[in-house]
Amino acid sequence: MTDLPVIRLRPKAKPQAIRHGFPWVFADEAVLDRRTRALPPGGMALLEDAERQPLGVVTVNPNSKIIGRMMDRDAGAVVDRAWIENRLARAQEMRARLYDAPFYRVVHAEADGLPGLVIDRFGDAAVMQPNAAWADAMAEDIADALVNVAGVTTVILNGQGRARGLEGLPERMEVLRGDAPDAPVQVGMNGAIYLADLMGGQKTGLFFDQRPNHAFAQRLVQGGTVLDVFSHVGGFGLAALAAGAAQAICVDGSAAALKLAEGGAEAMGARDRLEVVQSDAFKALEQLAEQGRRFDVVICDPPAFAPAKPALEAGLRAYERVAKTAAPLVTPGGYLVLCSCSHAADLTAFRNVSARGIGRGGRRGVLIHTGQAGPDHPTLPQLAETGYLKSLFFRLD
């Protein structure tokens, strides 16, 4: 028998969803008595249904709208460093099968059975984002597990971002193991070289999720010209150069990100084919249209315009504006790639506003491919948030 405290579902809550794999318990689904509200954020509890039947071990955070996250469906499980090592070993083993080099997302939160925890691996270094209270509280155990199981020598904790605020967690940035890299890390993907700033870059320093979509875009380049808008460190643009693009222009608002893009192109021997433009993306698109510029491939990969349901309507309008503004810049017979990382905007809604925006931009297009994140970002079917990335490839008339 477990000696964990118990949290119980309300009689009107439906335990079937949890039994069938849904990993969250919302605050309005649980009995919130004084004892439950007093549980420490990040602690463990036994979850029971209204009939007092055990459903599994959850981590609890009374300060969050998600009061419980399923850790283990075995009601007798003990969540300690050995437990973390077991979960991490399973995640690492799958990535080692999929990728030749140790550059990938090694833990994708709920989909890898480690809720609220994201870990990206950069060779001998790992950057973790503990976006749930339990992961923040057990950060030292997670760091030890990474050293023991994955064999990394440096572990960086990047505790920044909106998700931590929703959990009531403060921002923090620490090197838990090893030493902070004194220079950006070179990462090879699809023949391109990217520079990842593990201490000062956005999120973990590099986005691995677009890797398969970079590869598909490379097949469309055929020595043409490429415009990569919201480029960050040059994701699509550098991939295009690696595939033989005659020229790539990367547009981003961050001077630091564009400097890393330039460094990646230099490392590839392609600096003379890369142009960088620091600008608001919409302003840059409008100026390029005024100049009469046209490109064989145009990619727009903006940040999440709809990070949550309250922002959905405004976010969809922004995605439509991107499509409308970008479509006129594509040569006849060229390709427009539109991406969304907003989990609140599902594929159907994003596809519809993208097509409408293309039409409002005076163009007609056919959808030739729909991409998603790579297999190092597995999707938990019961949790739409894990399948957030959508990339639409249109050919325009």
19 has pLDDT over 70: yes
Q: Which long-range contacts (CB under 8 A, 24 or more apart) does 328-332 make?
A: 328/289, 328/361, 328/362, 328/363, 329/227, 329/285, 329/288, 329/289, 329/293, 329/294, 329/295, 329/298, 330/294, 330/295, 330/296, 330/297, 330/298, 330/363, 330/396, 331/294, 331/295, 331/296, 332/396, 332/397
Q: What is the 3-state secondary structure (H, E, C) of the chain?
A: CCCCCEEEECCCCCHHHHHCCCCEEEHHHECCCHHHHCCCCCEEEEEECCCCCEEEEEEECCCCCEEEEEEECCCCCCCCHHHHHHHHHHHHHHHHHHCCCCEEEEEEHHHHCCCCEEEEEECCEEEEEECCHHHHHCHHHHHHHHHHHHCCCEEEEEECCHHHHHCCCCCEEEEEECCCCCCCEEEEECCEEEEECCCCCCCCCCCCCCHHHHHHHHHHHCCCEEEEECCCCCHHHHHHHHCCCCEEEEEECCHHHHHHHHHHHHHHCCHHHEEEEECCHHHHHHHHHHCCCCEEEEEECCCCCCCCHHHHHHHHHHHHHHHHHHHHHEEEEEEEEEEECCCCCCHHHHHHHHHHHHHHCCCCEEEEEEECCCCCCCCCCCCHHHHCCEEEEEEEC
309 has pLDDT over 80: yes
Report pLDDT for 83. Answer: 98
Report pLDDT for 332. Answer: 97
Report pLDDT for 202. Answer: 80
Rounded mean pLDDT of the chain? Answer: 96
Whether this prediction's pTM lies above 0.75 is answered by: yes
Give the pLDDT band (50/70/90) at residue 12: confident
Report pLDDT for 114. Answer: 98
Report pLDDT for 359. Answer: 98
Mean pLDDT of 50-54: 94
203 has pLDDT over 90: no
Residues annotated as catalytic (active site), given as ranges: 341
273 has pLDDT over 90: yes
Joined together, the tokens standing for residue 117 give 């925890």
1 has pLDDT over 50: no
2 has pLDDT over 80: no
Mean pLDDT of 364-385: 95
108 has pLDDT over 70: yes
246 burial type by CB count under 10 A (0-12 exposed, 13-18 middle, 19+ buried): middle
Query: Measured between alpha carbons, how far is residue 26 from residues 54, 77, 114, 163, 244 in Å?
Result: 17, 22, 18, 16, 50
Mean pLDDT of 319-335: 98
Domains and CATH numbers, the chain: 6-72 (2.30.130.10), 82-177 (3.30.750.80), 185-396 (3.40.50.150)
Q: What's the CA gap between 93 and 97, in Å, rounded?
A: 7
Quick: pLDDT tens for 153-201.
Answer: 999 999 998 889 989 999 999 999 999 999 999 999 999 999 999 998 7
Mean pLDDT of 358-364: 97
Specify whether the backbone of 205 is left (phi greater than 0), alpha (psi in -120 to 50) or beta: left
Mean pLDDT of 220-224: 96
Write down the residue that tokens 């608002």 correspond to. 253
Q: What share of the chain has pLDDT > 70, as a percent?
A: 99
